[in-house]
């Protein structure tokens, strides 16, 4: 039976136990009871006094528990804090969502396009080979004769093959249709190591005339067009007027957009090398793909190609002087062009993410000011500083996770936008989506963002801790103000870089829109056909073109109609470039022969495209087959080879046309057209009357009085009246064709302008935040200044001045960065330099405006400071 | 962790093989309201680890099992530092343990 003092001591401990955290209570009680029970055996022990110490113990544990919640409690507490300050939390989350969303989208693009593994064995050994020419920039398609010589002489490659695009007119169905296909030489599929899904690939003898009526179909087309029926293998189809047997299905994994990156191709037929092709060295229209031998490096292969090109230049100086060959890995060929654009995009994304983090850090710092009391209290109660930092970090983690969740949603939307609006020339862009790796990246990013934005403010707050001494100092000290000002300067600088970049791209775009194409693209409808199959002779092709043009011209709403072979801005342009001689000039030295693009055209084409006549005459009724051959040349050609004072009109030109020596008289000069894009120079071109050089590759052009799209059906019907079996390969308005070449730029522009605006908003928000904190801190001072006679205008000026000072400092830093980083942008610029004054000034002005607007609200608050209020609180 | 004089005393007591609360109180002469919060703080800082005394031993002595506190490695380091800071600790904690009187 316990003694009375023992019972009393136990009662005291039982009371104290109620103070302890429930989770610790049973063990705590057991510990104290064991001590008291043991100590009770010694009657001299002051049991009750000892028992009262349990209150101190219990109280310590209780307050420690409040300060030292575990992670779950931290989270719960963090969430409560955020919901209690929903405005702050929503702002911070939205800011992060924008930055993180952009970053996730960017990651997905990089991961799924730029770093995507190619679906071919040993893909690193796969290369594409292109011609280079001293007088033309970039990589050029390969002329057949050069390909054949390279193929015969190279030793660095296992397989060396070529492919050339072809429109395969399929007839015999309900309406004639076009399959977008490729003619391929032997070794093409072997280079890619493709295995057919059904059937077989081409056999070596199928590359010879007469045995070549076989075709392969891509799995995608097979599923869409033939319902995935394997029995279709072995069936025959009427293609270009002949019966072709479908011999196999090429699996989905084979990327059909492989060589000409512009359009996917789903049918393959063997390439029979025509009798005249081994003589063609100047007109490139083949794409070459090859597989390096194991152990041969790209550099070694490149060196061999250079040596062969040099040999060819010696053997054929007239055509091959300055012609080289460049080997590019297939991966680099596919994504090389977009890599630069995405690099720019990635830089913009990184900047926006950084600005977002800085802004959230700034917001957290501002909140740290109002939480100083709370933090000081916790530290006073025994919470360690690392503990407080942890709690604050958990709060920024909660913000980061919520912001990231919203960002994932934004990224999903952004990726759908990219799929819908992005230029189709980017490979695999249509398969872009938010995948598991994107989500994993987002999760990692959330942690990084939480640390980036939360660590500094957390350390700062915990550092402030015990300095709290009363109500007065709950405003930010000068150190914190300096830190926030520094962050805002950084934000303004980053925003400046983006704004200046956006300005440069906008200016480039405007300059580009001002570029003259050489023709008038408004109200022109273009319809491309490949009529060689349907019209096998020159006479029939000439008659067909004349008939179809006449029917088009007769349509109500058509002002002028014609047909031309080389159609500017169309995807599959027919580029036939030839060297020629000029009768009035001495024979040129080797490698210096004049070159021009040849293009048969009907008289109406000049009217439909509104090419200005610069001299002489256009084609007319006189220029028929059997009449003296004539030509009209473009003014760039005239300027290049007939220097001032000499008139090309009446001069004679001699060149090979499909292997035939042709001699023509120049009768007219028209304005030159750009063909491949607004950044390309106007083309030196020789037009021949279609009646005298009848080709089946034609684009009909019709100038309409109203919307050309309204005439599409009537125009197609007119062409089918001329020949109901003639498939139409492509129909578009000329404005669409020109606009298509602008779409990558428009896309890049939209993105960077979007980012720049976000950055501007964030920077404005940053200035606002800092000034609001400054005003809150100096409210009393403002009151005193008003009491001492300062006018409200003085106060507004002083606050706005401070905002502009921040913006000015940021702009200076941003300007330095822009001048340094300008080089990165250079290849995206057109008509402006990277140091364009207007863009830089514009960026500065936009930021100054934003800073003024952001300063104005806090300034008005400052100006409303009440002197009485100030004096009372003093 | 703050090094107050009582903390140093408690560390010294633990170093002297005083393992449970009341024993440490007896060794240091500090009241329970001081010793226990110090033990809690040392526990939170990882300087001590607590365990329950072996039930069999306690039964043999006809008393309930008590909670024992042992210094961890970092606790020992702390105790050593405390000892060098407060040189006169040793004689102060040289009182006999409860049960030995």
Partners of residue B28 in chain A, C-beta under 8 Å: none
**pLDDT (0 to 100) of residue B96:** 44
What's the gap between Cα A261 and its chain centre? 15
Question: Mean pLDDT, to the nearest integer, of A805-824?
Answer: 84
Nearest Cβ partner of A53 from B31, B66, B101? Answer: B31
Nearest Cβ partner of B33 from A33, A52, A61? Answer: A52
Partners of residue B19 in chain A, C-beta under 8 Å: none
**pLDDT (0 to 100) of residue A470:** 39
Contact by Cβ (8 Å): A530, A729 = yes
- For residue A547, pLDDT over 50 is answered with yes
SS3 B68: strand
Torsion of CA A454, A460, A466, A468, to 10 degrees: -90
Q: What is the DSSP letter of A654?
A: E
Nearest Cβ partner of A56 from B33, B44, B65? Answer: B33
| Distance, CA of A86 to CA of A47 (rounded, Å) | 52
Contact by Cβ (8 Å): A693, A600 = yes
Tell me the nearest-neighbour CA distance from B36 into chain A, angstroms.
5
Interface with chain B: mutation pick from A9, A17, A38, highest number of B CBs within 10 Å: A38
Residues in chain B: 101
For the ranges A118-127, A251-260, A702-711, B73-82, the one whose mean pLDDT is highest: A702-711
pLDDT band at residue A379, thresholds of 50, 70 and 90? Answer: confident
A804-825 burial code (b ≥16 CB/10 A, e <16): bebbbbbbebbbebbeeebeeb
Would the CB atoms of A53 and B35 count as touching at under 8 Å?
A: yes
pLDDT per position as a tens digit, A494-531: 888 888 888 888 888 888 888 888 899 899 999 998 88
Would the CB atoms of A50 and B44 count as touching at under 8 Å?
A: no
Token duo for residue A713: 């059906």
- For residue A476, pLDDT over 50 is answered with no
More confident site: A245 or A793: A245
pLDDT per position as a tens digit, A612-630: 999 999 999 899 998 999 9
Question: Mean pLDDT, to the nearest integer, of A339-366?
Answer: 76
Partners of residue A45 in chain B, C-beta under 8 Å: 22
**pLDDT (0 to 100) of residue A818:** 85
Nearest Cβ partner of B64 from A34, A51, A60? Answer: A34
Contact by Cβ (8 Å): A482, A390 = no
| DSSP character string of A393-433 | HHHHHHHHHHHHHHHHHHHHHHHHHHHHHS-TTSTTGGG--
**pLDDT (0 to 100) of residue A193:** 86
- For residue A489, pLDDT over 80 is answered with yes
**pLDDT (0 to 100) of residue A800:** 83
Interface with chain B: mutation pick from A10, A27, A31, A54, highest number of B CBs within 10 Å: A31
| Distance, CA of A645 to CA of B32 (rounded, Å) | 115
pLDDT per position as a tens digit, A571-588: 777 888 888 989 988 887
Question: Mean pLDDT, to the nearest integer, of A808-822?
Answer: 86
Would the CB atoms of A35 and B66 count as touching at under 8 Å?
A: yes
**pLDDT (0 to 100) of residue A524:** 95
Going by their DSSP bridges, the two strands A685-689 and A630-634 should be labelled as antiparallel
Would the CB atoms of B41 and A382 count as touching at under 8 Å?
A: yes
**pLDDT (0 to 100) of residue A587:** 81
| Distance, CA of A20 to CA of A580 (rounded, Å) | 101
- For residue A318, pLDDT over 70 is answered with yes
**pLDDT (0 to 100) of residue A259:** 55
**pLDDT (0 to 100) of residue A474:** 37
**pLDDT (0 to 100) of residue A157:** 94
**pLDDT (0 to 100) of residue A383:** 73
**pLDDT (0 to 100) of residue A66:** 62
| Distance, CA of A164 to CA of A142 (rounded, Å) | 10
Angle, vertex CA A592, rays to CA A590 and CA A594, nearest 5: 125
pLDDT per position as a tens digit, A68-101: 556 667 777 778 877 887 777 888 888 888 888 8
Distances in Å between the Cα of A484 and the Cα atoms of A90, A461, A770 are: 20, 13, 6
For residue A451, the number of C-alpha atoms closer than 13 Å in the C-beta half-sphere is 5
Rounded to a whole number, what is the largest CA-CA distance in chain B? 40
pLDDT per position as a tens digit, A215-270: 999 998 899 888 889 999 999 998 877 899 999 999 887 875 555 544 567 899 99
Nearest Cβ partner of A39 from B22, B34, B41? Answer: B22
Tell me the nearest-neighbour CA distance from B11 into chain A, angstroms.
17
pLDDT per position as a tens digit, A747-768: 777 777 877 887 788 778 777 7
More confident site: A291 or A263: A291
| Distance, CA of A302 to CA of A653 (rounded, Å) | 37
- For residue A822, pLDDT over 90 is answered with no
pLDDT band at residue A465, thresholds of 50, 70 and 90? Answer: very low
pLDDT band at residue A409, thresholds of 50, 70 and 90? Answer: very high
Q: Which of A115-124, A533-542, A558-567, A648-657 is the least confident region? A: A115-124
Closest CA to A664 of A545, A567, A583: A583
Partners of residue A57 in chain B, C-beta under 8 Å: 32-33, 36-37, 40
pLDDT band at residue A32, thresholds of 50, 70 and 90? Answer: very high
Interface of A with B (CB under 8 A): 27, 30-31, 33-35, 37-39, 41-42, 45, 49-57, 60-61, 64, 68, 382
Would the CB atoms of B67 and A68 count as touching at under 8 Å?
A: no
| Distance, CA of A450 to CA of A82 (rounded, Å) | 14
Going by their DSSP bridges, the two strands A157-171 and A177-184 should be labelled as antiparallel
Question: Mean pLDDT, to the nearest integer, of A784-807?
Answer: 83
Would the CB atoms of A49 and B31 count as touching at under 8 Å?
A: yes
Would the CB atoms of B32 and A61 count as touching at under 8 Å?
A: no
Task: State phi, psi for B56 to the nearest 5 degrees.
Answer: -60, -45
| Distance, CA of A569 to CA of A738 (rounded, Å) | 6
**pLDDT (0 to 100) of residue A181:** 84
Find where tokens 């080879």 sit. Answer: A641
- For residue A367, pLDDT over 90 is answered with no
More confident site: A827 or B57: B57
Contact by Cβ (8 Å): A27, A66 = no
**pLDDT (0 to 100) of residue A475:** 43
Interface of B with A (CB under 8 A): 20-22, 25, 31-37, 40-41, 44, 63-67, 98, 101
More confident site: A639 or A445: A639
pLDDT band at residue A468, thresholds of 50, 70 and 90? Answer: very low
Tell me how crowded residue B80 is: count the other CB atoms within 10 A of its CB: 12
Closest CA to A566 of A641, A483, A674: A674
Partners of residue A50 in chain B, C-beta under 8 Å: 22, 25, 31-32
Rounded to two decimals, what is the model's pTM? 0.60
Question: Mean pLDDT, to the nearest integer, of A301-320?
Answer: 91
Closest CA to A217 of A233, A240, A204: A233
Nearest Cβ partner of B64 from A37, A49, A56? Answer: A37
Residue-level pLDDT, tens digit, chain B, 101 residues: 567 888 988 998 998 889 999 999 998 989 999 999 999 989 988 899 999 998 888 888 888 999 999 999 988 988 888 877 776 555 554 444 443 33
Q: Which residue of A has its CA nearest to B22?
A: A35
Would the CB atoms of B25 and A30 count as touching at under 8 Å?
A: no
Nearest Cβ partner of A57 from B22, B37, B98? Answer: B37
Partners of residue A43 in chain B, C-beta under 8 Å: none
Interface with chain A: mutation pick from B2, B23, B36, B65, highest number of A CBs within 10 Å: B36
- For residue A859, pLDDT over 90 is answered with no
Question: Mean pLDDT, to the nearest integer, of A790-805?
Answer: 83
- For residue A122, pLDDT over 80 is answered with yes
| Distance, CA of B34 to CA of B36 (rounded, Å) | 6
């Amino acid at each position: 039976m316990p003694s009375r003092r023992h019972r009393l001591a136990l009662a005291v401990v039982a009371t104290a136990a109620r103070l302890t955290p429930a989770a610790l209570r049973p063990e705590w009680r057991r510990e104290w009871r064991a001590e008291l029970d043991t100590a009770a055996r010694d009657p001299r022990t002051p049991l009750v006094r000892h028992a009262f110490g349990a209150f101190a113990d219990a109280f310590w544990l209780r307050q420690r528990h409040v300060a030292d919640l575990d992670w779950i409690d931290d989270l719960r507490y963090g969430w409560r804090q955020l919901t209690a300050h929903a405005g702050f939390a929503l702002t911070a989350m939205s800011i992060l969502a924008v930055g993180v969303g952009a970053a996730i989208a960017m990651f997905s693009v990089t991961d799924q396009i730029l770093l995507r593994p190619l679906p071919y064995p040993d893909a690193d050994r796969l290369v594409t080979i292109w011609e280079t020419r001293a007088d033309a920039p970039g990589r050029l398609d390969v002329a057949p004769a050069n390909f054949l010589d390279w193929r015969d002489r190279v030793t660095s490659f296992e397989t060396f093959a070529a492919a050339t695009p072809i429109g395969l007119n399929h007839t015999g169905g309900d309406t004639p249709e076009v399959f977008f296909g490729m003619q391929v030489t032997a070794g093409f599929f072997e280079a890619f190591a493709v295995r057919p899904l059904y059937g077989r690939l081409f056999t070596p003898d199928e590359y010879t005339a007469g045995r070549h009526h076989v075709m392969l179909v891509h799995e995608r087309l097979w599923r869409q067009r033939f319902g995935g029926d394997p029995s279709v293998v072995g069936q025959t189809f009427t293609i270009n007027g002949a019966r072709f047997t479908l011999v196999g299905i090429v699996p989905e994994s084979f990327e059909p957009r492989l060589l000409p990156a512009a359009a996917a191709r789903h049918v393959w037929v063997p390439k029979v090398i025509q009798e005249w092709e081994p003589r063609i060295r100047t007109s490139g229209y083949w794409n070459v793909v090859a597989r390096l031998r194991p152990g041969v490096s790209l550099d070694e292969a490149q060196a061999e190609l250079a040596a062969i090109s040099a040999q060819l230049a010696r053997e054929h100086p007239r055509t091959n002087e300055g012609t080289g060959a460049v080997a590019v890995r297939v991966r680099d060929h596919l994504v090389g062009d977009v890599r630069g654009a995405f690099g720019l995009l990635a830089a913009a994304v990184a900047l926006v993410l950084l600005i977002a983090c800085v802004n959230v850090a700034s917001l957290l710092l501002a909140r740290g000011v109002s939480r100083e009391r709370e933090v000081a209290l916790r530290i006073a109660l025994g919470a360690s500083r690392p503990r407080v930092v942890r709690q604050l970090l958990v709060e920024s983690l909660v913000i980061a996770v919520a912001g990231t969740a919203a960002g994932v949603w934004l990224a999903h939307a952004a990726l759908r936008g990219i799929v819908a609006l992005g230029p189709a020339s980017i490979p695999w862009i249509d398969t872009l989506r938010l995948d598991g790796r994107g989500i994993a990246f987002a999760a990692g990013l959330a942690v990084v963002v939480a640390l980036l934005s939360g660590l500094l403010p957390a350390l700062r707050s915990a550092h402030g801790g015990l300095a709290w001494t009363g109500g007065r100092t709950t405003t930010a000290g000068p150190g914190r103000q300096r830190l926030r000002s520094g962050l805002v300067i950084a934000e303004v600088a980053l925003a400046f870089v983006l704004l200046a970049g956006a300005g440069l791209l906008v200016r480039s775009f405007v300059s580009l829109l001002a570029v003259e194409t050489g023709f008038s693209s408004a109200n022109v409808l273009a319809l491309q056909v490949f009529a060689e199959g349907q019209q096998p002779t020159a006479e029939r092709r000439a008659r067909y073109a004349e008939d179809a043009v006449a029917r088009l011209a007769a349509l109500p709403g058509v002002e002028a109609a014609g047909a031309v072979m080389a159609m500017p801005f169309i995807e599959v342009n027919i580029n036939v470039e030839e060297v020629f001689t000029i009768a009035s000039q001495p024979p040129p030295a080797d490698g210096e022969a004049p070159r021009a693009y040849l293009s048969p055209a009907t008289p109406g084409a000049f009217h439909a495209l509104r090419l200005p006549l610069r001299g002489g005459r256009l084609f007319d009724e006189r220029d028929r087959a059997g009449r003296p051959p004539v030509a009209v040349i473009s003014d760039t050609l005239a300027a290049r080879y007939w220097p001032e004072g000499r008139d090309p009109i009446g001069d004679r030109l001699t060149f090979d046309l499909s292997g035939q020596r042709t001699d023509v008289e120049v009768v007219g000069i028209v304005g030159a057209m750009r063909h491949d894009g607004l950044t390309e120079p106007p083309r030196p071109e020789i037009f021949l009357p279609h009646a005298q050089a009848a080709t089946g590759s034609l684009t009909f052009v019709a100038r309409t009085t109203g919307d050309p799209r309204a005439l599409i059906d009537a125009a197609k019907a007119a062409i089918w009246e001329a020949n109901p079996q003639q498939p139409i390969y492509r129909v578009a308005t000329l404005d669409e064709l020109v606009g298509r070449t602008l779409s990558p730029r428009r896309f890049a522009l939209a993105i960077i302008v979007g980012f720049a605006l976000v950055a501007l908003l964030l920077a404005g928000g940053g200035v606002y935040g800092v000034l609001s904190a400054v005003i809150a801190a100096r409210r009393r001072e403002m009151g005193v200044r008003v009491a001492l006679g300062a006018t409200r205008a003085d106060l507004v000026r002083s606050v706005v001045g401070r905002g502009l000072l921040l913006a000015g400092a940021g702009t200076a830093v941003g300007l330095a960065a822009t001048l340094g980083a300008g080089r990165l942008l250079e290849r995206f610029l057109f008509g402006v330099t990277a140091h364009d004054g207007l863009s830089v000034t514009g960026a500065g002005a936009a930021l100054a405006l934003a800073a003024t607007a952001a300063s104005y609200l806090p300034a008005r608050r400052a100006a409303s400071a009440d002197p009485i209020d100030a004096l009372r609180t003093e | 962790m703050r090094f107050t004089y009582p903390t140093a005393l408690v560390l010294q007591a633990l170093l002297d093989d005083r393992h449970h609360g009341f024993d440490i109180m007896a060794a240091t002469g500090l009241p329970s309201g001081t010793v226990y919060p110090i033990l809690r703080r040392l526990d939170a800082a990882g300087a001590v680890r607590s365990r329950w005394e072996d039930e069999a031993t306690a039964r043999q002595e006809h008393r309930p099992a008590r909670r024992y506190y042992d210094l961890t490695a970092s606790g020992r380091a702390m105790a050593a530092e405390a000892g060098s800071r407060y040189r006169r600790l040793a004689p102060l904690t040289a009182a006999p343990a409860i049960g030995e009187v």
